[in-house]
Structure 1
């Protein structure tokens, strides 16, 4: 997986966390600080440059439009490698998924050092098959098997299994970060719970977070492309992310969250 896809993948996986159980979802705006996990030991790279520094910020805006969940996200991330070469990524992503998981639309734009590297709009519909239309320089149609689900339905399943005390959940998920592929996702739920500093939360957000670890596989590959550890509550809100890639790890820590009022009849 190349660097652009890794960044897209990191960014859009967050949507899976932010939308979970339709009965307890909260609409909110939040800010996370991103940093390199300096506790991870860098293996011998035999002269190949490795990531020495990473920092940035993620802005999320989630809201219920009364028939679907809408997400607008922006991430700024700066990498500096061991040779002193820096890369600045600016990623904008929006997604709209219907409550019942039958349809989703998404738009993704990736800039690297202020140059557009990727711009894609897409629409996916689920019936007996999952059909996807991509709109880039030209329209392209894809078809996947009907057992593939979208991000919202995936997280509904995870939250349900947290409540039912089931430890392992596996799904095939299409979410658009790698537009022509789906991902196999294995989720491991730990009984252990943690709490966040109260000053970082606002009234209405539960301060009981389960430790959930997810492994993301590219179709039939046996080795995961990435592993994610998240501290997630039963409202689908996450206080902490840790992304483990083959050669480095990133942490995202909550800086601020504000609830957004929802007015649906």
Structure 2
């Protein structure tokens, strides 16, 4: 699970240096588990420039599907923001569907502020060696051509595969349909060595059957084409990643403020198989 944005998540030389092996899907895809994870959000830090005095919230992430049918993600991100002068409620609701085999991806996001719809983005994308073609249907119909990129589940496969192989740092370009759905971002991913939960790690107990399972500490930094990787990232996310795709102990750094997300509840869902009905 990779979250880039809150409330709504020129580097040709760099990209040409990326390893083709790093960007390719592994021959045997990791076995991502169908699950619903609920995270409690808290403000960890905020600069004066942010105008934020307090923030709490909840994030719900549901992942279902299979390699032969594609993967569906339902995501909701609700926050209550205290600016000192007012309290604002934001609510982002996103649904995506990704077929790694055909490299097709659909996305729909609705963003609300104080229960009023203030943004809706909907579209579809397909990826090939020539690049990503994006067809946006909302809020206005338009088409965009982007350079070749990975979609979110494909990138998750890559992170897990590199972690298994002991490759600690790699770079990619990702398109996830967030914001206005019209750009991809460069990512730099750092994967730590496999660890097991320490004594006193209360959050690990929320992982149920995986409470004692090993995980990798992962940090992903996101950059746009205007700045490239020579400047500070526009967003950074750190988390503990299990081999089955479950994440916990999130830290989301938006620059002017930082949020933490602690796993509050984990439900393992009925797995999709090739004999089951498609997820969409």
Q: Indicate whether 1:246 and 2:255 are aligned.
A: yes
Matched residue, 1:258 = 267
Maintained 8 Å contact 1:239/1:254 = yes
How far does residue 215 in structure 1 lie from its aligned partner after superposition?
0.7
How far does residue 167 in structure 1 lie from its aligned partner after superposition?
1.1
Alignment of 1:223-238 (within 5 A): 223-238=232-247
Q: How many residues matched?
A: 244
Matched residue, 2:187 = 185
**TM-score w.r.t. structure 2 length?**
0.80
| Secondary structure at the counterpart of residue 191 of structure 1 | coil
Relative distance call for 1:260 and 1:201 in structure 2 (3 A) is same
Separation in 2 of the partners of 1:244 and 1:194?
A: 25
Separation in 2 of the partners of 1:232 and 1:101?
A: 26
How far does residue 261 in structure 1 lie from its aligned partner after superposition?
1.3
Separation in 2 of the partners of 1:121 and 1:184?
A: 22
Matched residue, 1:60 = 61
Deviations 1:208-234 (CA, angstroms, capped at 9, x unpaired)? 121111111122312211111111111
Relative distance call for 1:157 and 1:169 in structure 2 (3 A) is same
Unpaired segments ≥5 residues, structure 2 = 10-25, 276-280
Matched residue, 1:16 = none
Maintained 8 Å contact 2:50/2:256 = no
Which structure is higher in strand share? 1
Maintained 8 Å contact 2:61/2:76 = yes
How far does residue 144 in structure 1 lie from its aligned partner after superposition?
1.1
Unpaired segments ≥5 residues, structure 1 = 10-19
Q: Indicate whether 1:202 and 2:203 are aligned.
A: no
Alignment of 1:13-92 (within 5 A): 22-37=29-44, 40=45, 43=47, 45=48, 50-64=51-65, 66-81=68-83, 83-92=84-93
Separation in 2 of the partners of 1:30 and 1:84?
A: 33
Separation in 1 of the partners of 2:57 and 2:75?
A: 14
Maintained 8 Å contact 2:7/2:78 = no
**TM-score w.r.t. structure 1 length?**
0.85
Matched residue, 2:23 = none
Separation in 2 of the partners of 1:74 and 1:53?
A: 20
Maintained 8 Å contact 2:30/2:243 = no
Match of 2:135 among 109, 133, 149: 133
